[in-house]
Structure 1
Amino acid sequence: MTTAVEHAIDRARDDGRAAFVGYLPAGFPDPDASIAAALALAENGADVIELGPPYSDPVMDGPVIQEATNRVLEAGFTTSDLFDVIREITRRTDVPVLVMTYWNLVLQRGIDTYAREIAAAGGAGLITPDITPEAADEWIAASKRHDLDRVFLAAPTSSDERLRMISEASTGFVYTVSTMGITGERASLDAAARSLVERLRIAGAERACVGIGVTTPAHVTNIAEYADGAIVGTALVKTLGSGGVDALGAKVRELVAGSRR
């Protein structure tokens, strides 16, 4: 059965474009504004919303996202608050909401409890940057029980065997890391991203979305040539922080315009 995230990506493809996945830190700049910002993503063309709960040791996050999530942490935002934010977003839009979370936050809550609460809030599933499929049996089982997508990451350094494992274990899409390193702005994307998507196709991945360093409409246009979707985070977080929700909406429209093939 096709999941909500898969359906969103397929609908974008049928419309002649790559899907646009927009990332924002949950609770930034405050819970109410976070909800408004996520809705602005949906209203201005995002196909999938990606929310990142704040974490004290975000190994993948660049300085812009770290600064935003630190602000949220200092304000006392909790995992329970995350579910409240998701619930309010999904009450007001049909655009699927994925949570990109470091695994320790899930373990602290309990894997099945976290999965159950995500599903009850209307969330579509999890992107898990720091757990691999072979270590995720309990999460895979919980995701099946609660009908949640599980999005694993593939990197340019991944072996062909690992890419097959990731492709088989993932639902929704495979998060295709464009280049090694943390999130943030880059003048150009690593050519390894195109090669990695080709390798993922051979490994059996039906949908691959490219993230890390995707910040301009030109980046999105380039990705649309070979991948199923583009994932943008830092550019959106920076815009929200400096210009608010209206500026964020305009930025999303600008980036989504680059997704047409």
Structure 2
Amino acid sequence: MTNPATTPSGQPLGISHKPSKTRAMFDDFRKRDEPAFIGYLPYGFPDSEYSLKAFDTMVRHGVNAVEIGLPYSDPVMDGPVIQAASKIAIDNGERIADVFKAVETVANAGGVPLVMSYWNLIFHYGVERFATDFENAGGAGIITPDLIPDEAGEWIEASDRHGLDRIFLVSPDTSDERLRIVAANARGFVYAASRMGVTGERTTLSASPERLVARTRDAGAQNVCVGIGVSTPEQGAQVGSYADGVIVGSALVHTLLDDSARTPKPLDEGLSALAAKTEELAEGIHNARH
């Protein structure tokens, strides 16, 4: 059987020359002097069909790129809201092989599909297999919060073969040398975590993400997006005034949960709340510089 990473004669496949969908999105927004709005939801929450409708709703109400989260049983970076949502998805039997339906849903709605995943999930699925399936579904890139460029050789090769974006994370504590390594190996954008610690909604944001964006650009990154803690239109506008993209997760996930933050709202109620929150955030983010 032919290795999917080789030609029929056994030669390694070359580098894809497909343009980056994510970079193209940022180029369009740069012409309008606007930041992009990137929204996160875990796939399979509250269940598969509900989540597909939620992804479609996000794009149709103002999200430009969607981070499709792969629920994981040991999410070291996720705060309580996303952990609760991920547990619901896992308990409902979410499977990694089904996530490509979500990728297709986002692409068909006109958004840029990204996957956010801890590396262990992709490694066990098979790096080349995941890259192939993700590309075929219309995917743009993968955000890997626990994978550093130094240990990403297999992923760098696979993403080059399939024309996929590699999105690594940096934080305010990242050294200038490390920023240069990330910028040199990233494709699409660099994810700047606004602070150390887990995800979650915050009432205020510090000045550290603005400094981090400037440092990451100085290190060679073309596009830098800020996430972790952004939950209001005002915070979105604050971050959007200097970042290429604003990433919102917990605040969107929260709209699909009831007051206990543990039980999903009924479908129509949840999607209505998600649409309203998305529009509110989109207005703040897209008008950040106007």
SS in 1 for 2:256: helix
Equivalent in the alignment of 1:7: 24
Spell out the pairing of 1:110-121 with structure 2 (5 A cutoff).
110-121=126-137
- Residues 188/168 of structure 1: CA separation in 2 closer, same or farther (3 Å cut): same
Q: Equivalents in 2 of 1:88, 1:225: separation in Å?
A: 30
1:24, distance to aligned residue in structure 2 (A): 0.4
Quick check: 1:105 aligned with 2:121?
Answer: yes
1:15, distance to aligned residue in structure 2 (A): 2.4
Q: Equivalents in 2 of 1:16, 1:253: separation in Å?
A: 19
Equivalent AA in structure 2 for residue 244 of structure 1: G
Equivalent in the alignment of 1:160: 176
Cα offsets for 1:119-141 (capped at 9, x unmatched) = 11111110000000010011000
SS in 2 for 1:24: strand
1:2, distance to aligned residue in structure 2 (A): 4.2
Cα offsets for 1:215-258 (capped at 9, x unmatched) = 01111111122111100000000012344112111111100111
Equivalent AA in structure 1 for residue 39 of structure 2: G
2:74 aligned to 31, 38, 57, which one? 57
Q: Equivalents in 1 of 2:90, 2:191: separation in Å?
A: 26
Equivalent AA in structure 1 for residue 185 of structure 2: A
Quick check: 1:148 aligned with 2:174?
Answer: no
Percent identity of equivalent pairs? 47
Aligned residues, how many? 260
Q: Which consecutive residues of structure 1, in runs of 5 or more, have no partner in the other structure? A: none
Q: Equivalents in 2 of 1:170, 1:110: separation in Å?
A: 21
Q: Equivalents in 2 of 1:89, 1:209: separation in Å?
A: 20
1:14, distance to aligned residue in structure 2 (A): 2.2
Q: Which consecutive residues of structure 2, in runs of 5 or more, have no partner in the other structure? A: 1-17, 259-268
Spell out the pairing of 1:197-216 with structure 2 (5 A cutoff).
197-216=213-232
Does the Cα contact within 8 Å between 2:106 and 2:112 map onto a contact in 1? no
SS in 2 for 1:241: coil
Give the greater-gyration-radius structure (CA): 2
Equivalent AA in structure 2 for residue 169 of structure 1: N
Quick check: 1:217 aligned with 2:233?
Answer: yes
Does the Cα contact within 8 Å between 2:44 and 2:92 map onto a contact in 1? no
Equivalent AA in structure 2 for residue 174 of structure 1: V
1:174, distance to aligned residue in structure 2 (A): 0.4
Does the Cα contact within 8 Å between 1:55 and 1:102 map onto a contact in 2? yes
Normalised by the length of structure 1, the TM-score is: 0.96
Q: Equivalents in 2 of 1:95, 1:210: separation in Å?
A: 19
Cα offsets for 1:37-60 (capped at 9, x unmatched) = 111111111111111011000001
Spell out the pairing of 1:1-261 with structure 2 (5 A cutoff).
2-90=19-107, 92-242=108-258, 243-259=269-285, 260=287, 261=289
Equivalent AA in structure 2 for residue 35 of structure 1: L
Cα offsets for 1:163-203 (capped at 9, x unmatched) = 01111111111000101110001111121101101101110
Normalised by the length of structure 2, the TM-score is: 0.87
Does the Cα contact within 8 Å between 2:76 and 2:198 map onto a contact in 1? yes
Q: Any runs of at least 4 consecutive aligned residues in structure 1 with deviations exceeding 4 A, and if so which? A: none
- CA-atom RMSD, angstroms? 1.2
- Residues 95/89 of structure 1: CA separation in 2 closer, same or farther (3 Å cut): closer
Does the Cα contact within 8 Å between 2:56 and 2:105 map onto a contact in 1? no
In proportion to residue count, which structure has more helix?
Answer: 1
Q: Equivalents in 2 of 1:210, 1:223: separation in Å?
A: 7
Equivalent AA in structure 2 for residue 33 of structure 1: Y
